[in-house]
Structure 1
Amino acid sequence: MRFMLLLKYDEAAQAATPPDPAMFEEMGRFNTAMVDAGVLLAGEGLMPSAQGSVVAFDGEEPTVSDGPFTEAKELVGGFWILKVDSLQEAVSWARRAPFRHGERLEVRRVSEPEDFEDIAPPEVMEQEEQLRARAAEQHGQ
């Protein structure tokens, strides 16, 4: 199973105090431990919301708002995708993250095509499989 760990934090509060250089070392050790255990599939940090946009779908045409996203209390600041055997194992990894300043890690299972086998029409499932194969081929996987 794949799980996503979503790092959420108060961007305004974090902006007031730059990260401690030791945090980068701790994060490196955390990421290395996941790679060494063979569970880390991907992981990235995200730039501040001032460098992004929100596309909202609440009418006929999407609307675009540029960051920063001051109305949001918590923002996603990064993510990891893990391949583990259970939610409990994903939570165990999340608990090891080197955060101490109000950050939160949301642990969510990534849906797999088989989760929709009894819902989506067979032709949609076939198309999804073909698209995943093409995407993997394009990225050398």
Structure 2
Amino acid sequence: MTQYFLTMPHDSATEPTMASMRESDPAELEAVMTAVDEFNTALTDSGALLFAGGLTPPSTAKTVDTTSGQTRVLDEPFVEASAYVGGFWVIEAADEATALEWATRASLAVQSRIEVRALQEAPAE
């Protein structure tokens, strides 16, 4: 079985967080949270979920750089972009089609785009 990384983008301009999402319409937020909980339960019950999480915004990121031979800790994201990974799931699926089915369900639950990428596997010896 292959492992897949399902990611949910967030807008870098607004950097949504759990706290800022509470400012949205309570009924809409509750509907999304319920749908996400149902999706996570389905993933867990199927045995496909390896782990999942939400990430803090890039403005909170630290980047460690040792390429000059010195350790530097920078108060900035690794990359600047118009969108960033705000949340993710790592799942195990029999094939890409199954991973895409899970991503479709995730997209419906969170009302957002979902990117699907397979994790690299060690080369066969």
**TM-score in same-fold range (> 0.5):** yes
Q: Note if contact 1:48-1:68 (Cα within 8 Å) is conserved in structure 2.
A: no
1:9–1:56 CA distance, 2 compared to 1 (3 A): farther
User: Is the aligned partner of 1:22 residue 2:31?
Assistant: yes
Match of 1:116 among 103, 107, 123: 123
Residue type at the aligned position of 1:7: M
Larger radius of gyration between Structure 1 and Structure 2: 1
* CA drift at 1:64: 3.5
- Partner in structure 2 of residue 75 of structure 1: 84
- Partner SS for 1:33: helix
Residue type at the aligned position of 2:83: E
Residue type at the aligned position of 2:110: F
Q: Deviations over 1:36-76 (max 9, x none)?
A: 11111111111222322233576554654324789420111
Aligned residues: 114
Task: Considering Cα pairs closer than 8 Å and 6+ residues apart, tell me whether 1 or 2 has the greater RCO.
Answer: 2
| Cα RMSD after superposing both structures | 2.7
- Partner SS for 1:111: coil
Q: Which runs of 5+ in 2 are unaligned?
A: 23-28
1:21–1:70 CA distance, 2 compared to 1 (3 A): farther
1:52–1:46 CA distance, 2 compared to 1 (3 A): same
1:49–1:24 CA distance, 2 compared to 1 (3 A): same
Q: Which runs of 5+ in 1 are unaligned?
A: 119-141
Residue type at the aligned position of 1:78: G
1:24–1:11 CA distance, 2 compared to 1 (3 A): farther
